């Protein structure tokens, strides 16, 4: 098929310099093109300080001199059409810096890269994929996700499952093979979304994809860009949304990457106090520069438009908002008012969210923000950063610290588990139990729990019940839903064999029941960000370390009562205050033997009596199992 002519106009250069060329990835990079009836590739690169830029690659046997590019204008963009170059050709930009250095750089806008440890870019055509997800895309744009269920499965493709016989040392599934495995799993478990770690091209497996060199390329570890499109397409056809981890906070310093790209700092700030993360050994983007903002905003739009991705989870937002994040005195510079807020990063977030959410209201932007910065989530044009959702890191920290405690000491930290509701209405929250909580000697979720193995799994079940009942959308990292016992490592697959063990199979079945419940009852997701959807029945029973609360929906019907026992004691004839004189029908008992419990029974239906208790006129009583979670419908 003959390709249209690609060229970079004066308008392209002007808009890029203004920071508003949202299709710039269709011009910069390497694009199949036709000039005067001859097919080839048009190469474009931004290198404003270069003395000269040449294209080298397999098409010219990496000849340093044969293909010099032309500087197109004052903005520093270089371009060249090379006839006869075909898809699959490897190439780099050879940049002659003004100080005489020769820099061999991968293409910042490349859509495909050589398999690591190779670092060349590869000419590829990302047009023409046969998408079959129009039904999903149309429905997505009509939804208000604040009122929809969101149960996210966070997943690292390379270690989800290893291929038993594909002949590579790493055993990576390719995107297409992975699609079959993951779709089957997510449909069985009833997750609504998958969040994929480390999709943009990155040199080092151990960075998990958080130190990027190719922002416009799905990593070649798992196949081609069209293989990745196939994965998204299959997930959409199965009714599963796709969220990508996105890393605009910092980038890798590898020689072929963005750092000192043309001999000078054009993507990062030249002052290391603003341009470097000493803790991470990475470079910080210069958010005050129009072309850099354009590179990043267009990148988010690229994943949205070209790969039909449904959302981005923006990594390390706090590190962008605070100039002194992770830095000691002398390692950072204050802003023009003398403070520690990064005013340019704040403006960048306003720009990003207004462009993306203003144009694509169904697209989610999610902030991983670990401080009490106000109004991270807000409507477009309101005061605030404009994100759709924020990870509730405070909830996650309190939850993990409480659940780790010996039950004897939980009464002393009782209000750690109620505190998150006191600020719940300040943002639109996601409750995350992410990969960060199960690495670097923090223990797997199940091994954070106290007691013997049976106790650990019982704790996990009651802990997950609290999470699914609590206000906020949900996120679980892979392996947590069956009680993965070893810490996560990107080098090996999850311990799927554990599903043959009774306790693991039990927690897996239980999480499946929680997900089914979560999706079935709007009370669990429809009103997540204000007190209309949540009411404590008893938040103060420190003596028994129990919690009881109600989740409500706008119709007033099918409300749910949660009763949670955080101790190994069975509380006989335990009294729970309830809001109405109704029948309370048991939906879930975490102590059933099929879940790995001890088999203590709870009546399938309990009628409330007019026995006032803890500020309520009515109450119910029943035997509450050890580490038991009971969920009732009324």
Tens of pLDDT, residue by residue over 99-145, are: 999 999 999 999 999 999 999 999 999 999 999 999 999 999 999 99
Interval 411-467: pLDDT, tens: 999 999 999 999 999 999 999 999 999 998 899 999 999 999 999 999 999 999 999
pLDDT value of position 573:
97
In the prediction, which pLDDT does 355 show? 97
**How many Cβ atoms sit within 10 Å of the Cβ of residue 579?**
16
Q: Catalytic residue among 12, 234, 260, 315, which?
A: 315
CA-CA distance, 444 to 438, in Å (whole number)?
5
User: Quick check: is 86 catalytic?
Assistant: no
Q: Which two tokens stand for residue 455?
A: 């106790």
Q: Which residues of the chain have pLDDT under 70?
A: 166-168
Catalytic residue among 107, 268, 368, 526: 368
**pLDDT for residue 155:** 98
Q: How far apart are CA 162 and CA 323, in angstroms?
A: 41
Q: Do domains 10-123 and 153-391 have the same CATH topology?
A: no
Give pLDDT, residue 571: 98
Distance of alpha carbon 93 from the chain centroid: 32
Backbone φ and ψ for 272, nearest 5 degrees, come out as -60, -20
What is the CB-side half-sphere exposure of residue 110 using CA atoms within 13 A?
31
Enumerate residues 6+ apart whose C-beta is below 8 A from 212: 200, 201, 202, 247, 251, 252
Q: Which two tokens stand for residue 270?
A: 């030249």
Using an 8 Å Cβ cutoff, are 116 and 203 in contact?
A: yes
List the domain boundaries for the chain: 10-123, 153-391
**Nearest by Cα to 529 from 311, 304, 378:** 378
Exposure string (b/e) for 606-617, b if CB count within 10 Å is 16 or more? Answer: bebeeeebeebe
Q: What pLDDT does 166 receive?
A: 66
437 tagged catalytic: no
Beta bridge partners of 104: 94
Helix axes 175-189, 225-237, angle to 10 degrees: 20
Pair of tokens at residue 525: 């997701």
For domain 153-391, give its CATH number from 3.40.50.720, 3.40.50.300, 3.30.1700.10, 3.20.20.80.
3.20.20.80
Beta partners for residue 534, in sequence order: 551
Cβ atoms of 545 and 530 closer than 8 Å: no
Assign domain 10-123 to its CATH superfamily.
Answer: Immunoglobulins (2.60.40.10)
CB 503 within 8 A of CB 171: no
Whole-number Å distance between alpha carbons of 630 and 576 = 11
Rounded to 5 degrees, φ, ψ at 579 are -80, -25
pLDDT in tens, 157-211: 999 999 887 666 788 999 999 999 999 999 999 999 999 999 999 999 999 999 9
3-state secondary structure of 620: strand
How far apart CA 504 and CA 489 sit, in angstroms, is 19
């Amino acid at each position: 098929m003959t390709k249209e002519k690609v060229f970079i106009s004066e308008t392209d250069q002007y808009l890029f310099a203004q920071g508003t060329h949202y299709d710039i990835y269709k011009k910069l990079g390497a694009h199949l093109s036709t000039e005067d009836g001859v097919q080839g590739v048009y190469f474009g690169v931004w290198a404003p300080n270069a003395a000269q830029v040449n294209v080298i690659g397999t098409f010219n046997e990496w000849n340093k001199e044969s293909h010099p590019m032309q500087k197109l204008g004052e903005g520093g963009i270089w371009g060249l059409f090379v006839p006869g170059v075909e898809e699959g050709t490897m190439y780099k930009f050879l940049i002659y810096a003004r100080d005489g250095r020769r820099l061999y750089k991968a293409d910042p806008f490349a859509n495909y890269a050589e398999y690591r440890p190779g670092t060349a870019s590869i000419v590829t055509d990302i047009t023409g994929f046969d998408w079959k997800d129009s039904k999903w895309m149309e429905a997505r744009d009509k939804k208000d996700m604040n009122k929809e269920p969101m149960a996210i499965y966070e997943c690292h493709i390379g270690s989800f499952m290893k291929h038993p016989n594909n002949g590579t040392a790493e055993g990576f599934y390719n995107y297409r093979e992975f699609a079959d495995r993951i779709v089957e799993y997510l449909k069985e478990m009833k997750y609504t979304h998958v969040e994929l770690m480390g999709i943009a091209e990155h040199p080092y497996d151990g960075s998990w994809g958080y130190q990027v060199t190719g922002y416009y390329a799905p990593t070649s570890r798992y196949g081609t860009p069209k293989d990745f499109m196939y994965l998204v397409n299959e997930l959409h056809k199965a009714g599963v949304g796709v969220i990508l981890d996105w890393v605009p906070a910092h980038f890798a310093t590898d020689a072929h990457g963005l750092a000192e790209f043309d001999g000078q700092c054009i993507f990062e700030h030249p002052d290391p106090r603003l341009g470097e993360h000493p803790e991470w050994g990475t470079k910080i983007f210069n958010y005050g520069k129009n072309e850099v903002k354009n590179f990043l905003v267009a990148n988010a739009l690229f994943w949205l438009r070209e790969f039909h991705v449904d959302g981005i989870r923006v990594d390390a937002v706090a590190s962008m908002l605070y100039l002194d994040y992770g830095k000691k005195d002398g390692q950072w510079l204050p802003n023009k008012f003398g403070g520690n807020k990064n005013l340019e990063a704040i403006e960048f977030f306003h720009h990003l969210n207004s462009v993306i959410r203003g144009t694509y209201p169904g697209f989610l932007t999610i902030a991983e923000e670990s401080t009490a910065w106000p109004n991270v989530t807000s409507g477009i044009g309101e005061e605030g950063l404009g994100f759709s959702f924020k990870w509730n890191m405070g909830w996650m920290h309190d939850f993990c610290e409480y659940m780790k405690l010996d039950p004897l000491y939980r009464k002393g930290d009782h209000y750690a588990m109620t505190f998150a509701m006191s600020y719940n209405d300040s943002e639109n929250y996601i409750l995350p139990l992410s990969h960060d909580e199960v690495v670097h000697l923090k223990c797997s979720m199940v091994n954070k729990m106290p007691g013997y193995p049976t106790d650990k799994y019982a704790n996990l079940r009651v802990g997950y019940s609290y999470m699914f009942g609590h206000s906020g959308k949900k996120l679980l990292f892979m392996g947590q839903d069956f009680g993965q016992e070893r810490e996560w490592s990107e080098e090996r697959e999850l311990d799927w064999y554990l599903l043959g063990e009774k306790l693991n199979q039990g927690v897996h079945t239980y999480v499946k029941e929680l997900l089914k419940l979560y999706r079935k009852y709007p009370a669990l997701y429809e009103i997540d960000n204000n007190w209309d959807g949540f009411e404590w029945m008893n938040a103060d029973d420190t003596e028994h370390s129990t919690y009881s609360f109600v989740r409500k929906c706008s119709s007033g019907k099918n409300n749910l009562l949660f009763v949670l026992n955080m101790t190994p004691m069975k509380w006989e004839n335990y009294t729970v205050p309830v809001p109405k004189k109704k029948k309370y029908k048991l939906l879930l008992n975490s102590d059933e033997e099929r879940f790995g419990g001890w088999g203590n029974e709870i009546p399938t239906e309990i009628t409330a009596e007019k026995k006032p208790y803890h500020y309520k006129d009515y109450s119910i009583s029943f035997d509450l199992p050890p580490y038991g979670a009971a969920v009732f419908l009324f």
